[in-house]
A and B are shown apart, each in its own frame.
Chain A
Amino acid sequence: MVHLYHLTNSARKNYYQYNAGVRGSTIQEEPEIINREGEVAYLIDGFAIEGQNKKVVQFGILQVDLSRRYDRGQNVALAQFDRIVLPGLILVEHIFRGLKRPLFKDGSPYGDSEGLIHTWRPLHDYEWPDKDKTGRPIEKGPVASSVFAVIINMNHHREKWPEVYGWIDRWNWIYEDAYLPGAPMNWKTRYEEKLL
């Protein structure tokens, strides 16, 4: 059972269009902005799986994390966030849990077990050559035989950020599985379980 009433209008329209097979007109999604004690977070609609339920939740990313990418000049990552993650997270095809690799997080040596991996096949990718830094990213076709993955970790700071279900930590392309479209290669051994 999917409840869509929490979705913003654009996210809801993207979701319906995508599921109706209309994949060419994704509407740009503007994240909700919240400020807590001077710390700014952007919230993006997405899906979470709890038991048998697929529900709409909000995933967050701190402004400071985007600013770090800006400071390093990782502008392609910013363009991908702007044009793939923001409008596309709601279009997730598969959700996996558990990265199955050493990860110490929030005081736990088992930080990998709660990591969520959302994957789908976007219609476009983006490059931003140095000479065009004052212009716009260059639109490219999707990366062949690859899927786009967003890694999300659970929110352990619910008292400060109660509306955040999980934090977006990483987004990138990875090879696609040969047998399950939209899923990463070797997903059965790479992750602990498949949620969606």
Chain B
Amino acid sequence: MEGFLTKTMQDLLGGKPLKKFKPCAYYDKHLDCIRVQIRDCSFTEIRLNTRFTIYQANHVDNVEYMGFSMKGIRHLFEKHQLPKDGPYKLADIIDEIVKDDPESLCELIQIRFAKNLNLVVEDIQEWKAA
């Protein structure tokens, strides 16, 4: 594969062509999060709070979000002793996240979308993308 500069990466592919990207969701066990990515591109990760990060595409003319991650999934399961031996609906996991820390999620939604929804935001200091 001539696209890589290092022999190591060329050997990794062993002459195979690159695979076409398809939108995907997967669990990243190293960083304990579910990642959703809908486009293969360079992107900037924007941390919204300790649970949610969104991916913003780089090198494009308009702001374009093309993925996100939900963090601390295994941490949540361990904390609440949820069974790990079966499939879960994504909605159920989000439900657990909301139950775990409802205030921070509501604050995030309120600050992030208040302008679009014409909501009144009170008693919230300047939001920082920590």
Chain A interface residues toward B at CB < 8 A: 28-31, 33, 42, 63, 65-67, 70-76, 78-83, 86, 100-105, 109, 111, 125-128, 130, 133-137, 140, 143, 146, 151, 153, 167, 169-170, 172-175, 185-186, 189-190
Contacts and interface: CB of A to CB of B under 8 A. Distances in A.
Contacts of A80: 42
Interface of B: 2-9, 12-13, 17-22, 24, 26, 28, 30-32, 37, 40-47, 50-51, 58-59, 71-72, 74-79, 128-130
Nearest to A31: B8
Contacts of A103: 31-32, 71-72, 75
Given A109-B75, A153-B30, A172-B44, A63 B17 contact: no
B3 A31 contact: no
A173 B67 CA distance: 14
A23 B24 CA distance: 36
Contacts of B51: 101-102
A30 to B, nearest CB: 5
B18 A42 contact: no
Contacts of B78: 104, 109
B20 A130 contact: yes
A130 B21 contact: yes
